[in-house]
Structure 1
Amino acid sequence: MARLILHGIPVSAGISIGKAFFAWRDNISTLPRGIVTPGAAQSEVERLESAVEAVQNELTQARNRVPAELKDHAAIIDSHLLIAADPKLIKDAARRIQEQNITAEWALEQAVEAIALAFSSIEDDYIRERVQDVRVVADRISKRLMGASGCLKRPLQERMVLMAHDLAPADTMELPLDKIMSFATSEGGKTSHTGILARSMLIPAVVGVSNLEEHVNDGDLVIVDALRGFIIVDPNEDELADYTELKFQFEAYQKALHKECRLPAETVDGYRVEVVANIEMTEEVAQVLDSGGEGVGLYRTEYAYLSRPALPTEDQLYEEYSELASIMAPGKVIFRTLDVGADKMLTEQTLMREPNPALGLRAIRYCLRNIDVFKTQLRAILRASVHGNVALMFPMISGLQELRQAKVLLNEVRMELDRARQPYNPNMPVGIMIELPSAVLIADSLAQEVDFFSIGTNDLIQYSLGIDRGNKHVSYLYQPLHPAIVRSIKFVVDAAHREGIEVSVCGEVAADPYCIPILLGMQIDAISIAPQSIPGIKRIIRRTNMEECKTLLNEVLRTATVARINRVVKDTIFKQFPEELTFYSSLIDHDD
């Protein structure tokens, strides 16, 4: 057996075998936590301010080094520059220095932890993980305070497995990528920038690795299994042989996927499905196109609100949206309107704290309460609609009243643009996300009011089964093939098609090889998934027979238990797609 197996989150698929190299081992746990004399407190404040200024210069230089093929990553560095320039963080740290007579490093740590505490109650994984951006910037400032700079403690002389507490976009601009086999970090999650960057650069990566810094030393031989999320330290001969073969098989599989990824997603008997991407930043567009994505089925618009110290202006949003629409044209781009709430702490607002944010003032409910914020975004989307194939989608609609209120505001914005003689597409499609049981039950009525549906399966499963998938005590109940879920999706698809509108499916169900034949049997129109999932899903669709899918769906609909459905589906699917099931499940999109 291996000396140690560490578990993390796979964010960029692949296998690597090599020696570990830590970019920088000092982190928050090793910061100087000392007391200074009252007379020295001002010197500590000045030392902090000097470090901040130096980091701002470093980030500016890193941004200027972003190569053309990764130019959109500059947006992430821009957000870190904004954090470094945010007076609130530095003023809070300076206040702590003067009030407690403590070192600048310790005061900065306390200020960051106060922000982290405020973020800890946020329901949405993506938004909650944005506190990592603050930590990344603070770590860079702390290193400056301790007399260090740069990402690497010494130059790399050979290809290594790079390990770090965390990696920021600015860090990666300093890295010799030709000498890096893979990334492994202690921090980060599915939506972290490390994963986005690693996928863009086709480098295997595992983030959020427990005890990485405690149990791995420089020079240790490690296996990075970025298919399942393992770091195997000091592997034995059998493990080395097995993973060498698995690495060869995966690379051959990836080459086969790449060759086919631009072919249409069409079953062997001619049923065509559109396969589009879920993204949250424009820098992911290159991966969408490289993966064979036919458009963007879900653009999460929240990042623009969470990456700057003030609410974005209409012109800032318009510039972002129009650029995306232009790049993707003639492919479709569906903009989901703001899906934040009272727990998301938009920077310029003092929002109430809620005991249960998931069931509170979020998504369309928040937008209907904050009409100025909502209309600003609607204007930007409408203006961008002339630059490409743009559609708009309202999230978390629970009934007709909410939908009609949103449409009234959309019409008001259209009239405002008419008066200002601002061009927009008057025929821009408008749809909704079906992610609440109430919306499922009135899908026939909702379908008469919109141009398309997108079924958000992650929230639909959570709300339908009454479980929090992030709660380890009940996560076993999170069953995508629960009879209630399968029947709910079928009910919505049928209601949409009766009214002549298209319906897509997004979330884990849409990227799960076991679920694809069932969705095809329902005759869905589109699948919206993470970019890295697209080639594998298209390959599965192209090897599927529609009649067999309908037969499997009918058998599943006649089955009353989850266990029985899982057995039926796995027995059927594994015989057809053993390779996909070996390599593909780690790439499932965990957010809709």
Structure 2
Amino acid sequence: MASKIFKGIPVSAGLAIGRTYFLNREAGTSIVRINIVPEQVPQETARLKQGFNSALEELESILRKVPGDLKEQAAIIDSHIMILRDEKFQQSACDYVHSRLINAEWALDNAVSDIEKAFSRIEDEYIRSRTQDVRLVAGRVRSKLYGQSKSYDSKPERMILLAHDLSPADTIELKLDKIMAFATATGGKTSHAGIIARSLQIPAIVGAEGLEEIQDDHVVILDGFSGKIIVEPDAEELTHYTDLKQRFSEYYSQIKRNCYLPAETIDGYQMQVLANIELFEEVTSVIDNGGEGIGLYRTEYSFLNRNSWPSEEELYEEYRDMASIVYPQKVVFRTLDLGADKISPHFGPLEEVNPALGLRAIRFCQQNLGLFKAQLRAILRASTLGNVAVMFPMISGLQELREVKEIYFDVREEMRRQGQPFNEEVPFGIMIELPSAVFIADVLAREVDFFSIGTNDLIQYSLGIDRTNRYVSYLYQPLHPAILRSIKYVVDAGHEAGIEVNVCGEVAADPYCIPILMGMQLDSISLNPQAIPGIKRIIRQTTMDECKDLLKQVLSCSQVQQSNRLVREKIFTRFPEELMFYTSLIEES
């Protein structure tokens, strides 16, 4: 058997077998404290400042090489440059040298720890993970202090790249002719490295514990389905994974060949398949995987990796470029889903006992009207091509919806008075994520142009569970009778009012759920770009009669165990190949 197996979080599906190369091993090693004498303080502070300056020059050089179509990546690198230029950060490290008489490396680590402690009090996983940016910057400075610089350019064969973490600057310099897959010791599903891997469509794992133990030139199997790294596999394991890799390659080539065909059932029912994205650079993946537009553009991520709110002009340029690159296909801009603990670092967390039920999403926007109106103006200005829609999250009732519409129409009227061009026919929709919105879907449908059912939050709020909580995550059940009946009621209410209904949650990428959603006769689904080819393949192999029959059977179940068992039996029998490979591609939406 293999000498060792390391486990991490799979963020990009696929299999790779090859030799390893560790890019920045020193970033994950323990830092040694060295006590110094007062006479050495000037030397250590000078080393620190030189380390910051060298790292800054390197990042500025990389930033100049970023292609124009990678604006989001450039923005993240720019934010790292801002961190390096932060005088308080540098001064904090220098102060530790002075006050504690310690070496530059240990002083830098203490300064980073102070920032991490401040961020640890923030509950939202995404915001907490932004300390990763500070660590990446510090790691670059530390490598300058160590005087270490490594490159895999000279390697004669493609490698499996290992790293403590990969910064946006690192990913800019990735050479696909040298890298077949990568794994990092840090990061989660929302990490930049994971997004890049999915965009490049190479297998990747993040958050792999003990990764630093793997030596260079070890033969490993990187399993991007299960999140396993098998070190020095034996002959049996090599044979098994080589065969599996070949089968997946053949399967993936097949579904990719047909990914541009419409998602149409055998008997002629067609559903639009859109993509969920959060970064501009993911548009390439949407196009490559046969996405028919963008059903959910999470606009808040442009606000989170910076020290101040973006201006209306910055947002307009981003939204205009997005609309242009996907034209004539549509792009649905979800307004800011910010608030409570999910905010820009400069704003500061709100003191709330339960942020998930607090000032977030549309509620946050209503209390930050200047910010909200600037975003609405930017979206409307970008709408002149005619392929833009706007969508508002977390609407709980009719009064709230009408208040939001009034703000929206006020912005439109102001733009008319100013002579600012925009598309007067921009579709206006809402996300159905709360049980209260489900129960009055028939009323809300008369006020909007479309519904988008956000099943992730709908399941969480309906069943009263947090799926990120390991103690109750087993209760997160998409096929729960209450959830299926809620979705069906919203679809029927929307169609009765003559509006389109979309599902943009995780269930849209779940092979077990897609035939049931088809049976409800949804107009469109929106999902992770990587999941699109496989879901389209399932749709193209079904009939609407099959889907309606399965829906009828599932809706008759009174317990989630019944519906789960029924669906697994039916779907696994019908699509064994998709379930073997494809369920690993399902990502958090």
TM over 0.5: yes
Structure 2 matches for 1:143-292, cutoff 5 A?
A: 143-149=143-149, 152=151, 155-214=154-213, 216-292=214-290
CA deviations on 1:253-273 (whole Å, 9 max, x unpaired) are: 111111101111111111111
Structure 2 matches for 1:131-142, cutoff 5 A?
A: 131-142=131-142
Q: Which amino acid aligns with 1:14?
A: G
> CA 1:479/1:285 → structure 2, altered by over 3 Å: closer, same or farther?
same
| Cα distance in 2 between the residues matched to 1:528 and 1:266 | 15
Q: Which amino acid aligns with 2:63?
A: R
Name the counterpart of 1:454.
452
Q: Which amino acid aligns with 1:398?
A: S
Does residue 428 of structure 1 match 2:407?
Answer: no
Q: Compare 262-271 and 47-56 and name the one that shifted more.
A: 47-56
> CA 1:97/1:375 → structure 2, altered by over 3 Å: closer, same or farther?
farther
Name the counterpart of 1:400.
398
- Check whether the contact 1:86–1:309 (CA below 8 A) recurs between aligned residues: no
CA deviations on 1:256-308 (whole Å, 9 max, x unpaired) are: 11110111111111111111111111111111111111111111111211122
CA deviations on 1:299-350 (whole Å, 9 max, x unpaired) are: 1111211122211000010010110011111111111111111213424424
- Check whether the contact 1:326–1:388 (CA below 8 A) recurs between aligned residues: no
Please state how far the C-alpha of 1:241 moved relative to its aligned partner.
Answer: 0.9
Equivalent position SS for 1:113? helix
| Cα distance in 2 between the residues matched to 1:195 and 1:572 | 33
Does residue 444 of structure 1 match 2:462?
Answer: no
| Cα distance in 2 between the residues matched to 1:506 and 1:378 | 21
- Check whether the contact 1:24–1:153 (CA below 8 A) recurs between aligned residues: no
Equivalent position SS for 1:177? coil
Please state how far the C-alpha of 1:96 moved relative to its aligned partner.
Answer: 3.9
- Check whether the contact 1:513–1:540 (CA below 8 A) recurs between aligned residues: yes
Name the counterpart of 1:414.
412
- Check whether the contact 2:55–2:140 (CA below 8 A) recurs between aligned residues: yes
Equivalent position SS for 1:528? strand
Q: Which amino acid aligns with 2:350?
A: M
> CA 1:310/1:383 → structure 2, altered by over 3 Å: closer, same or farther?
same
Name the counterpart of 2:497.
499
Name the counterpart of 1:484.
482
Equivalent position SS for 2:26? coil
- Check whether the contact 1:83–1:309 (CA below 8 A) recurs between aligned residues: no
Name the counterpart of 2:305.
307
Structure 2, unaligned stretches of length 5 or more? none
Give the number of aligned pairs. Answer: 589
Q: Which amino acid aligns with 1:257?
A: I
Q: Which amino acid aligns with 1:81?
A: I
| Cα distance in 1 between the residues matched to 2:92 and 2:498 | 56
Structure 2 matches for 1:68-79, cutoff 5 A?
A: 73-79=73-79
Q: Which amino acid aligns with 1:180?
A: I
Equivalent position SS for 1:163? strand
Equivalent position SS for 1:584? helix
- Check whether the contact 2:194–2:204 (CA below 8 A) recurs between aligned residues: yes
CA deviations on 1:56-89 (whole Å, 9 max, x unpaired) are: 2211222333457867643432333233334443
Q: Which amino acid aligns with 1:13?
A: A
Structure 1, unaligned stretches of length 5 or more? none
Q: Compare 54-63 and 545-554 and name the one that shifted more.
A: 54-63
Name the counterpart of 2:533.
535
- Check whether the contact 2:28–2:164 (CA below 8 A) recurs between aligned residues: no
Please state how far the C-alpha of 1:417 moved relative to its aligned partner.
Answer: 1.2
Q: Compare 18-27 and 224-233 and name the one that shifted more.
A: 18-27
Name the counterpart of 1:112.
112
Q: Compare 151-160 and 362-371 and name the one that shifted more.
A: 151-160
Does residue 47 of structure 1 match 2:47?
Answer: yes
Does residue 334 of structure 1 match 2:332?
Answer: yes
Q: Which amino acid aligns with 2:167?
A: A
Equivalent position SS for 1:27? helix
> CA 1:425/1:175 → structure 2, altered by over 3 Å: closer, same or farther?
closer
| Cα distance in 2 between the residues matched to 1:32 and 1:375 | 51
Name the counterpart of 1:26.
26
CA deviations on 1:397-417 (whole Å, 9 max, x unpaired) are: 111222122111112211221
Name the counterpart of 1:360.
358
> CA 1:47/1:413 → structure 2, altered by over 3 Å: closer, same or farther?
farther
Name the counterpart of 1:564.
562
Q: Which amino acid aligns with 2:388?
A: V
Name the counterpart of 1:464.
462
Equivalent position SS for 1:258? helix
Q: Which amino acid aligns with 1:102?
A: I
| Cα distance in 1 between the residues matched to 2:532 and 2:88 | 41
CA RMSD of aligned residues (A): 2.0
| Cα distance in 2 between the residues matched to 1:259 and 1:268 | 18
CA deviations on 1:191-227 (whole Å, 9 max, x unpaired) are: 222122222223211111122113x222222110102
| Cα distance in 1 between the residues matched to 2:158 and 2:556 | 54
CA deviations on 1:489-511 (whole Å, 9 max, x unpaired) are: 11111111111111111121110
| Cα distance in 1 between the residues matched to 2:91 and 2:502 | 47
Name the counterpart of 2:388.
390
> CA 1:156/1:438 → structure 2, altered by over 3 Å: closer, same or farther?
same
Please state how far the C-alpha of 1:551 moved relative to its aligned partner.
Answer: 0.4
- TM superposition score normalised by structure 2: 0.95
Please state how far the C-alpha of 1:520 moved relative to its aligned partner.
Answer: 0.3
CA deviations on 1:66-118 (whole Å, 9 max, x unpaired) are: 45786764343233323333444334434444444433323332333333334
Name the counterpart of 1:294.
292
Please state how far the C-alpha of 1:31 moved relative to its aligned partner.
Answer: 2.2
- Check whether the contact 1:311–1:347 (CA below 8 A) recurs between aligned residues: no
| Cα distance in 1 between the residues matched to 2:343 and 2:101 | 30
> CA 1:45/1:404 → structure 2, altered by over 3 Å: closer, same or farther?
farther
State percent identity of aligned pairs. Answer: 59
Q: Which amino acid aligns with 1:474?
A: V
| Cα distance in 2 between the residues matched to 1:587 and 1:176 | 24
Does residue 84 of structure 1 match 2:78?
Answer: no
- Check whether the contact 2:127–2:343 (CA below 8 A) recurs between aligned residues: no
